[in-house]
Amino acid sequence: MKSAHSYRRCLQLFVPLFAVVLAVMLAVVTSPALADGTVRAWRSNGYDQCLIPSDLGVCTQIAGGDQHTIALRADGTVRAWGCNNEGQCNIPSDLGVCTQIAGGGNHTIALRVDGTVRAWGNNSQGQCNIPSDLGVCTQIAGGVDHTIAIRADGTVRAWGRNIEGQCTIPSDLGVCTQIAGGFFHTIALRADGTVRAWGNNSQSQCTIPSDLGVCTQIAGVYFHTIALRADGTVRAWGRNTQGQCTIPSDLGVCTQIAAGGAHTIALRADGTVRAWGNNSQGACTIPSDLGVCTQIAGGHLHTIVLEGNQNRSQPSSIPATGVGITPSPSTAPSPPSPPLAPNSRPSPSA
């Protein structure tokens, strides 16, 4: 009797425990496996900017240029691919370990581990000529033909093409925590969460909405500006010819924003990606198998993401940078058009 009682007691303890273990095992087996630090890109691929190198490995940051893509690998090395007409994808052999990357039109920028800045590629406007007195920096960004940096003291410097005053820093700008570049304009997020923009304002891209409020991130590209507000909502202003400034009504809370040439990208709180605006090449058509993402970036006509299983509610404090409306699954993207000429750019009045 004692033996039978003991047996029944063991079953009472073991069966529930086995059920829990089995449930966990099934959850692990049936849950999709997310590749931590995997880069994905779509759609315009005229220069193979969306063709991810097979040996790229795990990455921690992504950025987009006009028609090239940049990635910061887990070991701090930089890779770039796509249009290389100006050498923007030729990584300097002495670059060393980096902590951040950014893309300009046809140039690439890197922040080294010692806080120094390097840039290479198109230097027709002096955008790759690092000022000798720049000093230690904490963040970098690229405009189409200019380069921007935040110095260790929070002040902003910019150099390169200055035809519209995009490199002329406002004297009252103060301490900033983030920067971004557009075609002919520059954007800064100040320490108090307010946004400033200067340079070309032909599309009102530098006219900050009076009700914008406190923001946590900014992005800019050709002729529009984007901001992520403290409550996770997204605002955009400037040129809206492709609907790039028309925020989807069901977008919800977001944790990161990025810009393409004429499209806008957002990373939602659940790790899903939305994009809207110019979808002529399918840049706004999110792959159905994308899964959870941790970072987003944009090129002129392509979208880049970092896919992974990191804590999606805590995006990188250094957002992806670059020159950068989700269609229904049944809507096929337009057939790809021939690649743009390397220096093909929209005009401010277009």
pLDDT tens across 211-242, in order? 999 999 999 989 999 999 999 999 999 999 99
Q: Classify the C-alpha dihedral 45-49-55-57 as positive or negative.
A: negative
C-alpha pair distances (Å), 19 with each of 10, 31, 126, 252: 14, 18, 66, 37
Tell me whether residue 63 is in a domain. no
How many whole angstroms separate alpha carbon 271 and alpha carbon 106?
A: 30
- Tens of pLDDT, residue by residue over 144-166, are 999 999 999 999 999 999 999 99
Check: CB of residue 176 under 8 Å from CB of residue 169: no
User: By residue range, what is the domain housing residue 286?
Assistant: 38-58+140-322
C-alpha pair distances (Å), 223 with each of 187, 244, 261, 281, 340: 12, 10, 8, 19, 18
Tell me whether residue 117 is in a domain. no
Q: What pLDDT does residue 48 have?
A: 97
Q: What pLDDT does residue 323 have?
A: 56
Q: What pLDDT does residue 221 have?
A: 83
Nearest to 131 by CA among 111, 115, 117, 110: 117
How many whole angstroms separate alpha carbon 282 and alpha carbon 310?
A: 27
Task: Please state the rounded mean pLDDT for residues 256-274.
Answer: 97
How many whole angstroms separate alpha carbon 228 and alpha carbon 213?
A: 10
Q: Is the pLDDT of residue 337 over 80?
A: no
Mean residue pLDDT of the chain comes to 85
Q: What pLDDT does residue 308 have?
A: 85
Tell me whether residue 1 is in a domain. no
- Tell me what percent of the residues of the chain surpass a pLDDT of 70: 78
Q: What pLDDT does residue 15 have?
A: 39
- Cis amide prior to 43 (ω within 30 degrees): yes
Tell me whether residue 31 is in a domain. no
- Tens of pLDDT, residue by residue over 114-137, are 999 999 999 999 999 999 999 999
Q: Is the pLDDT of residue 195 over 80?
A: yes
CATH classification of the domain holding 244: 2.130.10.30
Q: What pLDDT does residue 46 have?
A: 94
Check: CB of residue 66 under 8 Å from CB of residue 343: no
Nearest to 303 by CA among 331, 329, 333: 333
Tell me whether residue 175 is in a domain. yes
Pick the more confident residue, 117 or 15: 117
Q: Is the pLDDT of residue 78 over 90?
A: yes
* Cα-based angle 241, 86, 163 (whole degrees, multiple of 5): 55
Tell me whether residue 49 is in a domain. yes
- Our measurement of the distance from residue 147's CA atom to the centroid of its chain's CA atoms, rounded to an integer in Å, reads 16
Residue type, 74: A
Tell me whether residue 222 is in a domain. yes
Domain count, the chain: 1
- Tens of pLDDT, residue by residue over 27-54, are 322 223 334 799 999 998 999 999 999 9
Q: Is the pLDDT of residue 327 over 50?
A: no
Task: Please state the rounded mean pLDDT for residues 57-80.
Answer: 98
Residue type, 286: I
Q: Is the pLDDT of residue 344 over 70?
A: no
Tell me whether residue 213 is in a domain. yes
pTM, whole model, 2 decimals? Answer: 0.82
Q: Is the pLDDT of residue 315 over 60?
A: no
Q: Give me the DSSP letters along 49-87.
A: TT---TT---EEEEEE-SSEEEEEETTS-EEEEE--TTS
